[in-house]
Amino acid sequence: MNIADLFATHRRSLSVGFFILLIAFVLTFPLYGGIYRTDVLFTMLTYAILAVSWAMFSGTTGYMSLAPAAFFGTGIYVTALLQDYLPFPVIMVAAGVISFALAVVLGLVTLRLKGIYFTIFSFGLVVFMGNAINYVEADVLGRHGWYFNVVNQTVLFYTIVGLTVATVLAAYFIGRSRLGLAMRSIGGNEEAAEHVGIDTTRIKILTFAISAIFMGVAGVIVAPPLSYSNAGIAFSPVYSFIAVVAAVFGGMGHLAGPVIGAFVYGFLEEMLRVEFLIYFQLGFGIIIVLVILFLPSGIVGLVPMLRDKLGEVIAKLRKGGEGEQHANT
């Protein structure tokens, strides 16, 4: 049995095996990676959660949400407000619930609107919350930002690994469920989906809210390492942009796309941040435009493309070989 056949027949078990290996690698990383590299991996995982949960809703339904930063910031603020009163796991649950509720309200208000208005509105939420909280903090409460209690870095690392796995699994199972099918049909043609009997508004709100849970909880886990935060940091629109850019770069058609995109983005950002942050962002802008133009399925789309190309080349070589044999006889 040659390798190509092996890949074809055992694809599923191979990808599960790869997934398990990857998790094992990430889980053992703090043992030999050192503190700095583990921190980088922490950031990469955070971006992966944002990108996967963004693609979960926006990638399938086609409604471009720019709200991730709003939910992420909500998570950070829930931590700031509750850290002295509740244990950490409870805060995570609280942030998830609050993000879910916030997304439901936002969805009820906006998801009946056309795509463009939804995008504008969702982005408005980020800017609105950031500025409004900034005002309440500075002028009503008279304080400037919040300091976070110290939480064991190793515990946080494993928590974010767990959340990443949970996000990916959720995206996987939602994708395979009736809900996922309904979402894809909304993305394909919303009117047709409605005629088939799908309650499109309900589906959109539900999945938007589910994706918000992961962003909110990610905010909680990321908060303690920040050690200090204010409205400007927590609700920075950059988090929305990263989610979108990483997911698009990686490719939204495949589960691995946003994860790979987020890993590459996070890694490069960290490597280039000190001296070349502007060049990095410039370069990434160019890459994004090129990817959208020439590689709509993202970098994971390269794999089948290269495989096909390779197959063609091999077929050609074989044919050439056969031709030679004919010539010999």
Partner 1 sequence: MAEAERFLGLTLIGIFGGGIYGLMAVGLSLQIGVCRVLNVSHGEFVMLAAVLTFVFRQLGINPLLAPVFIGPLLFGLGFLLQITLFRGLKARAPSPAAFEGNALLAAFGLMYIMGNAARIEWGTVSLPSHYLTNSVPLLGVNIQLNVIVGFAIAAVLGIAVYLFLTRSRLGKAIRATAEDPATAGLMGVNTNIIMALCFGLGALLAGVAGTLISMRTDVNTGIGFNNTVIALVIVTLGGLGSVLGSYVAGIIIGIVSMMVAFFWESVLIVPAYYAILMILLLARPSGIFGKK
Closest CB 92 distance from partner 1, rounded Å: 28
The structure tokens 């890949």 sit at 7
Name the burial class of residue 97, with classes exposed (0-12), middle (13-18) and buried (19+) by CB atoms within 10 angstroms of its CB.
Answer: middle
What element of type H or E holds 251?
none
Residues binding partner 1: what is the number (CB under 8 A)? 44
- CA dist 317 and 95 (Å) reads 58
Q: Which residues 225-264 are close enough to bind partner 1 by CB under 8 A? A: 237, 241, 244-245, 248
Closest CB 64 distance from partner 1, rounded Å: 6
211-243 in b/e burial notation, b at 16+ Cβ within 10 A?
Answer: bbbbbbbbbbbbbbbbeebbbeebbbbebbebb
Contact 190, 183 (CB under 8 A): no
Is residue 285 part of the contact set for partner 1 (CB under 8 A)?
yes
Q: Which residues 289-308 are close enough to bind partner 1 by CB under 8 A? A: 289, 292-293, 296
Interface residue with partner 1 among 33, 62, 162, 253 (CB under 8 A) is: 62
For partner 1, the closer of residues 41 and 126 by Cβ is 126
**Helix ranges restricted to H, 83-114:** 88-110
C-alpha distance across the termini of the chain, in Å: 29
Interface residue with partner 1 among 81, 279, 307, 312 (CB under 8 A) is: 279
φ/ψ of residue 228, rounded to 5: -140, 145
Interface residue with partner 1 among 21, 22, 24, 132 (CB under 8 A) is: 132
Q: Which of 123, 144, 137, 135 is nearest to 69 (CA)?
A: 123
Closest CB 328 distance from partner 1, rounded Å: 47
Is residue 147 part of the contact set for partner 1 (CB under 8 A)?
no
- CA dist 235 and 225 (Å) reads 16
Interface residue with partner 1 among 21, 93, 286, 317 (CB under 8 A) is: 286
15-54 footprint of partner 1 as x/- string (CB under 8 A)? ----------------------------------------
State the helix-helix crossing angle for 88-110 and 200-226, rounded to 10 degrees: 140
83-122 footprint of partner 1 as x/- string (CB under 8 A)? --------------------------xx--xxxxx-xxx-
For partner 1, the closer of residues 210 and 291 by Cβ is 291
Q: Which residues bind partner 1 (CB under 8 A)?
A: 62, 64, 109-110, 113-117, 119-121, 123-125, 127-128, 131-132, 134-135, 138-139, 188-190, 237, 241, 244-245, 248, 278-279, 281-282, 284-289, 292-293, 296
